[in-house]
Structure 1
Amino acid sequence: MGPTITPIGDCGIRIHFGDEVSVKTNQKIIAYKSLLEKKDCEGITDIVPGYTTLSLFYDPSRYTYKQMFHIIEEIHDKVKIAPEKKAVIYHIPTCYGEPYGVDLHVVAKCNGISPEEVIAIHSGKNYYIYMLGFLPGFPYLGGLEKRIATPRLDTPRLKVPAGSVGIAGEQTGIYPLDSPGGWRIIGRTPVKLFEPEREPSILFEAGNYIRFEPIEADEFHVIIEKVENAAYRIKTTEYVGG
Protein backbone atom coordinates (compact mmCIF):
# COMPACT_ATOMS: atom_id res chain seq x y z
CA MET A 1 0.00 0.00 0.00
CA GLY A 2 1.38 3.37 -1.02
CA PRO A 3 1.36 6.67 0.84
CA THR A 4 -1.75 8.84 1.11
CA ILE A 5 -1.99 12.36 -0.29
CA THR A 6 -3.96 15.27 1.20
CA PRO A 7 -4.19 19.02 0.49
CA ILE A 8 -2.66 21.77 2.63
CA GLY A 9 -4.78 24.85 2.02
CA ASP A 10 -4.87 26.08 -1.58
CA CYS A 11 -1.14 25.92 -2.34
CA GLY A 12 0.19 22.82 -0.62
CA ILE A 13 -0.02 19.05 -0.71
CA ARG A 14 1.18 16.48 1.84
CA ILE A 15 2.29 12.90 1.31
CA HIS A 16 1.69 10.69 4.37
CA PHE A 17 3.88 7.62 4.86
CA GLY A 18 2.05 6.11 7.84
CA ASP A 19 2.69 6.63 11.54
CA GLU A 20 5.96 4.77 12.11
CA VAL A 21 9.01 6.95 12.71
CA SER A 22 11.88 4.85 11.37
CA VAL A 23 14.94 4.96 9.14
CA LYS A 24 13.06 2.95 6.49
CA THR A 25 10.19 5.47 6.43
CA ASN A 26 12.64 8.34 6.26
CA GLN A 27 14.48 6.77 3.33
CA LYS A 28 11.17 6.62 1.43
CA ILE A 29 10.65 10.32 2.14
CA ILE A 30 14.17 11.17 0.95
CA ALA A 31 13.63 9.09 -2.22
CA TYR A 32 10.39 10.93 -3.05
CA LYS A 33 12.02 14.29 -2.35
CA SER A 34 14.95 13.46 -4.62
CA LEU A 35 12.70 12.47 -7.53
CA LEU A 36 10.52 15.55 -7.13
CA GLU A 37 13.59 17.79 -7.14
CA LYS A 38 14.87 16.09 -10.30
CA LYS A 39 11.60 16.88 -12.08
CA ASP A 40 12.60 20.55 -11.70
CA CYS A 41 9.04 21.88 -11.66
CA GLU A 42 9.37 25.66 -11.52
CA GLY A 43 6.01 26.07 -9.82
CA ILE A 44 7.04 24.05 -6.76
CA THR A 45 8.24 26.60 -4.21
CA ASP A 46 9.31 24.33 -1.35
CA ILE A 47 9.62 20.66 -0.39
CA VAL A 48 9.60 20.01 3.36
CA PRO A 49 10.35 16.56 4.81
CA GLY A 50 9.01 15.54 8.22
CA TYR A 51 9.33 12.40 10.33
CA THR A 52 6.51 10.63 8.45
CA THR A 53 5.42 13.18 5.82
CA LEU A 54 6.64 15.13 2.83
CA SER A 55 4.97 18.49 2.19
CA LEU A 56 5.08 20.32 -1.14
CA PHE A 57 4.17 23.95 -1.62
CA TYR A 58 3.42 25.31 -5.06
CA ASP A 59 2.34 28.38 -6.98
CA PRO A 60 -1.45 28.02 -7.45
CA SER A 61 -1.27 30.19 -10.56
CA ARG A 62 0.85 27.46 -12.19
CA TYR A 63 -0.64 24.27 -10.76
CA THR A 64 -3.94 23.00 -9.46
CA TYR A 65 -4.15 20.48 -6.65
CA LYS A 66 -5.20 17.83 -9.18
CA GLN A 67 -2.10 18.49 -11.31
CA MET A 68 0.18 18.23 -8.28
CA PHE A 69 -1.57 15.02 -7.25
CA HIS A 70 -0.80 13.49 -10.66
CA ILE A 71 2.85 14.61 -10.52
CA ILE A 72 3.23 12.71 -7.25
CA GLU A 73 1.38 9.67 -8.60
CA GLU A 74 3.74 9.54 -11.58
CA ILE A 75 6.79 8.98 -9.38
CA HIS A 76 5.29 6.20 -7.19
CA ASP A 77 6.67 3.38 -9.35
CA LYS A 78 10.05 5.07 -9.77
CA VAL A 79 10.84 5.34 -6.08
CA LYS A 80 13.74 3.22 -4.86
CA ILE A 81 13.90 2.91 -1.10
CA ALA A 82 17.62 2.12 -1.11
CA PRO A 83 19.70 5.32 -0.78
CA GLU A 84 21.21 6.64 -4.02
CA LYS A 85 24.56 7.03 -2.28
CA LYS A 86 26.14 5.49 0.79
CA ALA A 87 25.46 7.24 4.06
CA VAL A 88 28.29 8.93 5.91
CA ILE A 89 28.95 9.61 9.58
CA TYR A 90 29.81 13.18 10.54
CA HIS A 91 32.17 13.06 13.53
CA ILE A 92 31.34 16.08 15.69
CA PRO A 93 33.94 17.13 18.30
CA THR A 94 32.05 18.00 21.48
CA CYS A 95 33.21 19.49 24.76
CA TYR A 96 30.86 18.15 27.44
CA GLY A 97 30.09 19.72 30.81
CA GLU A 98 30.90 23.16 32.21
CA PRO A 99 31.25 25.81 30.99
CA TYR A 100 29.52 24.67 27.79
CA GLY A 101 27.21 21.90 28.98
CA VAL A 102 25.39 23.73 31.76
CA ASP A 103 22.73 21.01 32.14
CA LEU A 104 24.97 17.94 32.12
CA HIS A 105 24.64 17.41 35.87
CA VAL A 106 20.86 17.88 35.66
CA VAL A 107 20.59 15.20 32.97
CA ALA A 108 22.74 12.89 35.10
CA LYS A 109 20.68 13.52 38.23
CA CYS A 110 17.35 13.03 36.40
CA ASN A 111 18.50 9.61 35.23
CA GLY A 112 20.30 8.48 38.37
CA ILE A 113 23.72 8.18 36.75
CA SER A 114 26.99 10.12 36.76
CA PRO A 115 27.89 12.91 34.32
CA GLU A 116 30.65 10.66 32.98
CA GLU A 117 28.07 7.97 32.20
CA VAL A 118 25.89 10.51 30.38
CA ILE A 119 28.87 11.47 28.20
CA ALA A 120 29.76 7.83 27.51
CA ILE A 121 26.17 6.94 26.56
CA HIS A 122 25.60 10.07 24.45
CA SER A 123 28.86 9.72 22.53
CA GLY A 124 28.65 5.95 22.20
CA LYS A 125 26.46 5.59 19.12
CA ASN A 126 25.56 6.95 15.70
CA TYR A 127 22.48 9.18 15.38
CA TYR A 128 20.41 9.14 12.21
CA ILE A 129 19.58 12.56 10.73
CA TYR A 130 15.85 12.47 9.99
CA MET A 131 15.51 16.06 8.85
CA LEU A 132 16.83 19.59 9.22
CA GLY A 133 14.69 22.43 10.50
CA PHE A 134 13.69 24.87 13.26
CA LEU A 135 16.88 26.80 12.40
CA PRO A 136 19.04 26.47 9.25
CA GLY A 137 21.02 23.27 9.69
CA PHE A 138 19.43 22.12 12.96
CA PRO A 139 19.53 18.29 12.81
CA TYR A 140 16.64 16.25 14.20
CA LEU A 141 18.33 13.05 15.30
CA GLY A 142 16.99 9.60 16.06
CA GLY A 143 18.46 7.03 18.40
CA LEU A 144 18.93 8.72 21.78
CA GLU A 145 19.15 6.15 24.58
CA LYS A 146 16.21 6.30 26.99
CA ARG A 147 18.76 6.05 29.80
CA ILE A 148 19.61 9.73 29.27
CA ALA A 149 16.25 11.07 28.05
CA THR A 150 15.37 14.24 29.98
CA PRO A 151 12.41 16.65 29.79
CA ARG A 152 13.07 20.03 28.24
CA LEU A 153 13.19 23.17 30.39
CA ASP A 154 9.88 24.50 31.73
CA THR A 155 10.95 27.99 30.67
CA PRO A 156 13.18 28.24 27.56
CA ARG A 157 16.40 30.23 27.77
CA LEU A 158 16.46 33.49 25.83
CA LYS A 159 19.80 32.60 24.26
CA VAL A 160 21.43 29.25 23.61
CA PRO A 161 24.88 29.65 21.99
CA ALA A 162 25.55 28.26 18.52
CA GLY A 163 27.07 24.78 18.64
CA SER A 164 25.26 23.80 21.84
CA VAL A 165 24.43 20.10 22.05
CA GLY A 166 21.15 19.42 23.79
CA ILE A 167 18.63 16.81 24.90
CA ALA A 168 14.85 17.23 24.89
CA GLY A 169 12.81 14.19 25.84
CA GLU A 170 14.12 11.32 23.71
CA GLN A 171 15.75 13.60 21.13
CA THR A 172 19.20 15.11 20.83
CA GLY A 173 20.36 17.87 18.52
CA ILE A 174 22.76 20.76 17.91
CA TYR A 175 21.89 24.45 17.76
CA PRO A 176 23.47 25.87 14.57
CA LEU A 177 22.93 29.51 15.58
CA ASP A 178 22.47 31.56 18.74
CA SER A 179 18.80 31.09 19.53
CA PRO A 180 16.20 30.88 22.28
CA GLY A 181 15.70 27.26 23.28
CA GLY A 182 14.43 24.88 25.92
CA TRP A 183 16.66 21.84 25.39
CA ARG A 184 18.95 20.61 28.18
CA ILE A 185 22.46 21.63 27.13
CA ILE A 186 25.13 19.01 27.83
CA GLY A 187 28.01 20.27 25.69
CA ARG A 188 29.11 22.34 22.71
CA THR A 189 30.86 21.76 19.41
CA PRO A 190 33.28 24.31 17.93
CA VAL A 191 32.17 23.29 14.43
CA LYS A 192 29.94 25.72 12.50
CA LEU A 193 26.84 23.94 11.27
CA PHE A 194 25.64 26.86 9.18
CA GLU A 195 27.68 29.43 7.26
CA PRO A 196 25.84 31.46 4.59
CA GLU A 197 29.04 32.08 2.61
CA ARG A 198 30.07 28.40 2.61
CA GLU A 199 29.10 25.99 -0.17
CA PRO A 200 27.08 24.13 0.88
CA SER A 201 26.03 26.50 3.64
CA ILE A 202 24.49 23.70 5.75
CA LEU A 203 26.96 21.10 7.00
CA PHE A 204 24.63 18.09 7.21
CA GLU A 205 22.30 16.21 4.88
CA ALA A 206 19.33 14.18 6.04
CA GLY A 207 19.80 10.44 5.63
CA ASN A 208 23.30 10.48 7.10
CA TYR A 209 24.54 10.04 10.67
CA ILE A 210 26.20 12.05 13.43
CA ARG A 211 28.57 10.73 16.07
CA PHE A 212 29.66 12.95 18.95
CA GLU A 213 33.38 12.77 19.79
CA PRO A 214 34.29 13.99 23.33
CA ILE A 215 37.10 16.56 23.47
CA GLU A 216 38.70 18.61 26.24
CA ALA A 217 38.53 22.40 26.56
CA ASP A 218 42.03 22.97 25.16
CA GLU A 219 41.21 21.03 21.99
CA PHE A 220 37.93 22.95 21.73
CA HIS A 221 39.85 26.23 21.54
CA VAL A 222 42.34 24.83 19.02
CA ILE A 223 39.49 23.78 16.73
CA ILE A 224 37.73 27.14 17.19
CA GLU A 225 40.85 28.89 15.89
CA LYS A 226 41.08 26.53 12.92
CA VAL A 227 37.40 27.05 12.12
CA GLU A 228 37.81 30.83 12.21
CA ASN A 229 40.76 30.55 9.81
CA ALA A 230 38.90 28.15 7.49
CA ALA A 231 41.56 25.53 8.28
CA TYR A 232 39.33 22.88 9.88
CA ARG A 233 37.73 20.01 7.99
CA ILE A 234 35.17 17.86 9.70
CA LYS A 235 35.94 14.15 9.76
CA THR A 236 33.53 11.89 7.88
CA THR A 237 33.53 8.12 7.51
CA GLU A 238 31.33 5.73 5.56
CA TYR A 239 28.41 4.30 7.51
CA VAL A 240 28.50 0.51 7.44
CA GLY A 241 25.63 -0.24 9.81
CA GLY A 242 25.34 -0.81 13.53
Structure 2
Amino acid sequence: LLMFGRKLATRLLSQIQRYRACIDLMKSTDVRIIFTRGTLFPHGFVLAKECRVLYALHNKMREYFDKMMKIAHEKDILIVGVSDLPRDMRFFRIIEDKLKLQVPHVNDYVFLKLVLEEGDITTPLLVEKEKGKKLENWYEFYMNARGDILKFEYITKEDPLEVQRKIASLASSLVYPSPLRRDRGRHNLSILIEARMKAHDYLNTLRDLTHAALRAASISLSELIDKHKGVKI
Protein backbone atom coordinates (compact mmCIF):
# COMPACT_ATOMS: atom_id res chain seq x y z
CA LEU A 1 0.00 0.00 0.00
CA LEU A 2 2.87 2.34 0.81
CA MET A 3 4.48 1.72 -2.60
CA PHE A 4 1.14 2.21 -4.34
CA GLY A 5 0.60 5.47 -2.48
CA ARG A 6 4.04 6.74 -3.46
CA LYS A 7 3.46 5.79 -7.09
CA LEU A 8 0.10 7.55 -7.15
CA ALA A 9 1.57 10.63 -5.48
CA THR A 10 4.30 10.72 -8.13
CA ARG A 11 1.70 10.63 -10.90
CA LEU A 12 -0.31 13.41 -9.29
CA LEU A 13 2.80 15.55 -8.87
CA SER A 14 3.81 14.96 -12.50
CA GLN A 15 0.37 16.15 -13.63
CA ILE A 16 0.67 19.27 -11.49
CA GLN A 17 4.09 20.02 -12.96
CA ARG A 18 2.73 19.52 -16.48
CA TYR A 19 -0.08 22.01 -15.90
CA ARG A 20 2.33 24.50 -14.33
CA ALA A 21 4.63 24.19 -17.34
CA CYS A 22 1.72 24.91 -19.70
CA ILE A 23 0.69 27.91 -17.60
CA ASP A 24 4.23 29.32 -17.64
CA LEU A 25 4.42 28.77 -21.39
CA MET A 26 1.15 30.61 -22.03
CA LYS A 27 2.24 33.52 -19.84
CA SER A 28 5.73 33.88 -21.31
CA THR A 29 5.23 33.22 -25.04
CA ASP A 30 2.73 33.98 -27.77
CA VAL A 31 1.46 30.50 -28.64
CA ARG A 32 -1.78 29.49 -30.33
CA ILE A 33 -1.73 25.76 -29.65
CA ILE A 34 0.02 23.51 -27.13
CA PHE A 35 0.51 19.76 -27.51
CA THR A 36 1.05 18.04 -24.18
CA ARG A 37 1.70 14.34 -23.67
CA GLY A 38 -0.97 12.31 -21.94
CA THR A 39 -4.65 12.81 -21.31
CA LEU A 40 -5.79 16.37 -20.64
CA PHE A 41 -7.09 15.30 -17.25
CA PRO A 42 -6.80 11.87 -15.59
CA HIS A 43 -10.41 11.23 -14.56
CA GLY A 44 -9.54 7.70 -13.46
CA PHE A 45 -8.03 8.74 -10.11
CA VAL A 46 -10.41 7.62 -7.37
CA LEU A 47 -9.21 8.46 -3.86
CA ALA A 48 -10.61 7.82 -0.43
CA LYS A 49 -11.01 10.98 1.63
CA GLU A 50 -9.03 9.29 4.39
CA CYS A 51 -5.89 9.54 2.19
CA ARG A 52 -5.41 13.17 3.17
CA VAL A 53 -2.10 13.77 1.40
CA LEU A 54 -3.22 12.15 -1.85
CA TYR A 55 -6.58 13.87 -1.64
CA ALA A 56 -4.86 17.24 -1.21
CA LEU A 57 -2.61 16.51 -4.20
CA HIS A 58 -5.62 15.54 -6.29
CA ASN A 59 -7.38 18.80 -5.39
CA LYS A 60 -4.22 20.74 -6.22
CA MET A 61 -4.03 18.98 -9.58
CA ARG A 62 -7.63 19.95 -10.32
CA GLU A 63 -6.90 23.52 -9.27
CA TYR A 64 -3.98 23.82 -11.68
CA PHE A 65 -5.96 22.19 -14.50
CA ASP A 66 -8.81 24.69 -14.08
CA LYS A 67 -6.31 27.55 -13.94
CA MET A 68 -4.60 26.31 -17.11
CA MET A 69 -7.88 26.03 -19.01
CA LYS A 70 -9.02 29.46 -17.81
CA ILE A 71 -5.85 31.12 -19.12
CA ALA A 72 -6.13 29.15 -22.37
CA HIS A 73 -9.71 30.39 -22.82
CA GLU A 74 -8.77 34.00 -22.06
CA LYS A 75 -5.85 33.94 -24.50
CA ASP A 76 -7.68 31.84 -27.12
CA ILE A 77 -5.08 29.06 -26.89
CA LEU A 78 -5.90 25.48 -27.79
CA ILE A 79 -4.45 22.82 -25.49
CA VAL A 80 -4.30 19.29 -26.89
CA GLY A 81 -3.58 16.13 -24.93
CA VAL A 82 -1.77 13.42 -26.93
CA SER A 83 -1.77 9.80 -25.75
CA ASP A 84 0.45 7.28 -27.55
CA LEU A 85 -0.99 4.14 -25.93
CA PRO A 86 -4.72 4.75 -25.38
CA ARG A 87 -6.59 2.01 -23.53
CA ASP A 88 -10.16 3.25 -23.93
CA MET A 89 -12.88 1.18 -25.58
CA ARG A 90 -15.20 4.10 -26.35
CA PHE A 91 -14.68 4.19 -30.12
CA PHE A 92 -14.79 0.40 -30.45
CA ARG A 93 -18.07 0.15 -28.53
CA ILE A 94 -19.73 2.74 -30.81
CA ILE A 95 -18.62 0.91 -33.95
CA GLU A 96 -19.60 -2.42 -32.42
CA ASP A 97 -23.09 -1.10 -31.69
CA LYS A 98 -23.62 0.62 -35.06
CA LEU A 99 -22.39 -2.30 -37.17
CA LYS A 100 -23.70 -5.03 -34.87
CA LEU A 101 -20.27 -6.64 -34.76
CA GLN A 102 -19.85 -10.06 -33.21
CA VAL A 103 -16.17 -9.90 -32.32
CA PRO A 104 -14.12 -10.19 -29.11
CA HIS A 105 -13.88 -6.94 -27.18
CA VAL A 106 -10.64 -5.03 -27.70
CA ASN A 107 -9.54 -1.54 -26.77
CA ASP A 108 -9.49 1.32 -29.26
CA TYR A 109 -5.74 1.05 -29.81
CA VAL A 110 -5.90 -2.58 -30.95
CA PHE A 111 -9.05 -2.06 -33.03
CA LEU A 112 -7.83 1.06 -34.85
CA LYS A 113 -4.39 -0.46 -35.39
CA LEU A 114 -6.17 -2.96 -37.67
CA VAL A 115 -8.57 -0.48 -39.27
CA LEU A 116 -6.73 2.79 -39.91
CA GLU A 117 -4.25 3.22 -42.73
CA GLU A 118 -1.21 5.42 -42.16
CA GLY A 119 -2.26 9.06 -42.02
CA ASP A 120 -5.95 8.24 -41.42
CA ILE A 121 -7.89 10.02 -38.69
CA THR A 122 -11.24 9.27 -37.09
CA THR A 123 -14.10 11.72 -36.77
CA PRO A 124 -14.15 13.81 -33.57
CA LEU A 125 -16.04 12.06 -30.81
CA LEU A 126 -17.92 14.08 -28.20
CA VAL A 127 -17.11 12.69 -24.75
CA GLU A 128 -20.03 13.43 -22.47
CA LYS A 129 -18.97 11.32 -19.50
CA GLU A 130 -15.74 9.85 -18.19
CA LYS A 131 -15.66 7.54 -15.18
CA GLY A 132 -19.18 8.73 -14.32
CA LYS A 133 -18.20 12.40 -14.41
CA LYS A 134 -20.00 14.78 -16.75
CA LEU A 135 -17.82 16.61 -19.28
CA GLU A 136 -18.58 19.61 -21.48
CA ASN A 137 -17.23 20.38 -24.96
CA TRP A 138 -14.68 17.57 -24.64
CA TYR A 139 -13.66 15.89 -27.90
CA GLU A 140 -11.21 13.21 -28.94
CA PHE A 141 -10.05 11.59 -32.16
CA TYR A 142 -7.42 9.10 -33.29
CA MET A 143 -4.67 9.28 -35.90
CA ASN A 144 -2.48 6.59 -37.41
CA ALA A 145 0.95 8.22 -37.37
CA ARG A 146 3.72 6.03 -38.79
CA GLY A 147 1.90 2.92 -37.65
CA ASP A 148 1.28 4.23 -34.13
CA ILE A 149 -2.23 5.08 -32.97
CA LEU A 150 -2.31 8.48 -31.26
CA LYS A 151 -5.29 9.86 -29.38
CA PHE A 152 -5.87 13.63 -29.36
CA GLU A 153 -8.10 15.29 -26.75
CA TYR A 154 -9.26 18.89 -26.79
CA ILE A 155 -11.91 21.16 -25.29
CA THR A 156 -13.64 23.67 -27.53
CA LYS A 157 -16.92 25.53 -27.99
CA GLU A 158 -16.11 26.07 -31.65
CA ASP A 159 -16.81 23.73 -34.57
CA PRO A 160 -15.04 20.52 -33.49
CA LEU A 161 -14.34 19.55 -37.12
CA GLU A 162 -12.57 22.84 -37.85
CA VAL A 163 -10.53 22.51 -34.68
CA GLN A 164 -9.69 18.92 -35.58
CA ARG A 165 -8.41 19.97 -39.01
CA LYS A 166 -6.09 22.47 -37.34
CA ILE A 167 -4.81 19.87 -34.87
CA ALA A 168 -4.38 17.15 -37.50
CA SER A 169 -2.51 19.50 -39.84
CA LEU A 170 -0.07 20.63 -37.16
CA ALA A 171 0.32 17.11 -35.76
CA SER A 172 1.19 15.76 -39.21
CA SER A 173 3.87 18.43 -39.66
CA LEU A 174 5.37 17.40 -36.31
CA VAL A 175 5.25 13.65 -36.89
CA TYR A 176 6.25 13.44 -40.55
CA PRO A 177 9.57 14.78 -41.87
CA SER A 178 9.66 17.65 -44.33
CA PRO A 179 11.79 17.25 -47.50
CA LEU A 180 12.91 20.86 -47.06
CA ARG A 181 14.43 20.35 -43.61
CA ARG A 182 18.07 19.34 -43.16
CA ASP A 183 19.99 18.83 -39.96
CA ARG A 184 23.77 18.81 -40.41
CA GLY A 185 23.77 16.28 -43.21
CA ARG A 186 21.67 13.70 -41.41
CA HIS A 187 18.49 12.19 -42.78
CA ASN A 188 15.44 14.41 -42.48
CA LEU A 189 13.78 14.02 -39.10
CA SER A 190 10.47 15.24 -37.77
CA ILE A 191 10.49 18.02 -35.19
CA LEU A 192 9.12 15.54 -32.69
CA ILE A 193 12.03 13.13 -33.11
CA GLU A 194 14.58 15.95 -32.96
CA ALA A 195 13.03 17.27 -29.75
CA ARG A 196 13.11 13.81 -28.21
CA MET A 197 16.78 13.36 -29.14
CA LYS A 198 17.72 16.74 -27.65
CA ALA A 199 15.76 15.97 -24.48
CA HIS A 200 17.54 12.61 -24.21
CA ASP A 201 20.95 14.28 -24.61
CA TYR A 202 20.03 16.88 -21.99
CA LEU A 203 18.86 14.17 -19.59
CA ASN A 204 22.14 12.26 -20.00
CA THR A 205 24.13 15.43 -19.33
CA LEU A 206 22.02 16.20 -16.26
CA ARG A 207 22.47 12.63 -14.99
CA ASP A 208 26.26 12.80 -15.47
CA LEU A 209 26.47 16.14 -13.65
CA THR A 210 24.36 14.81 -10.78
CA HIS A 211 26.49 11.68 -10.44
CA ALA A 212 29.67 13.79 -10.54
CA ALA A 213 28.33 16.11 -7.84
CA LEU A 214 27.35 13.17 -5.63
CA ARG A 215 30.78 11.54 -6.09
CA ALA A 216 32.51 14.80 -5.21
CA ALA A 217 30.34 15.23 -2.12
CA SER A 218 31.00 11.63 -1.09
CA ILE A 219 34.77 12.06 -1.48
CA SER A 220 34.70 15.32 0.48
CA LEU A 221 32.71 13.69 3.26
CA SER A 222 35.08 10.73 3.34
CA GLU A 223 38.11 13.03 3.56
CA LEU A 224 36.44 15.02 6.33
CA ILE A 225 35.75 11.86 8.32
CA ASP A 226 39.34 10.63 7.86
CA LYS A 227 40.68 14.01 8.90
CA HIS A 228 38.77 14.01 12.17
CA LYS A 229 39.31 10.38 13.10
CA GLY A 230 40.41 10.07 16.69
CA VAL A 231 39.37 13.60 17.53
CA LYS A 232 37.38 13.64 20.73
CA ILE A 233 34.36 15.90 20.85
- TM-score between the two structures when normalised by the length of structure 2: 0.28
Whose Rg is larger? 2
TM-score with structure 1 length normalisation?
A: 0.27
* Structure (1 or 2) with the greater strand fraction: 1
Structure with the largest fraction of helix? 2
